[in-house]
Amino acid sequence: MSKRIDGARRAARIVHALKCPVCGNPVHIEDDGRLLCMENHSFDFAKQGYVNVLTRPAGGHYDKELFEARRRIMMDSGLYAPFHKAVADLVRERSLPSVMPGVLADIGCGEGTHLHRILQQLSGMDVMGAGLDIAKEGVQLAARDFQDAVWLVGDLAQSPFADHSIHVILNILSPSNYEEFTRMLAPGGLLIKAVPASGYLRELREALYSDKRRTYSNEETIGLFDRHFRRTETIPLRYSVRLDRLQLQDLVRMTPLSWSPDPAAVKAFLNRDFAEITVELDLLVGEPGDW
Q: Which residues pair with 190 in a beta bridge?
A: 168
Q: Which residue segments constitute the domains of the chain, with CATH numbers given? A: 3-288 (3.40.50.150)
Report the distance separating Cα 62 and Cα 212, nearest Å. Answer: 24
Give the pLDDT confidence of 32-58 residue by residue, as tens digits.
889 999 999 999 999 999 999 998 877
How many other C-beta atoms are found inside a 10 Å radius of the C-beta of residue 286? 23
In the annotated binding site, the residues are: 20, 23, 37, 41, 80, 111-112, 200
Report the distance separating Cα 256 and Cα 81, nearest Å. Answer: 21
This prediction's pTM: 0.94
Quote the Cα angle for 267-270-273, to 5°: 145
In the annotated binding site for Zn(2+), the residues are: 20, 23, 37, 41
Give the pLDDT confidence of 194-225 residue by residue, as tens digits.
999 999 999 998 888 776 666 778 899 999 99
In the annotated binding site for S-adenosyl-L-methionine, the residues are: 80, 111-112, 200
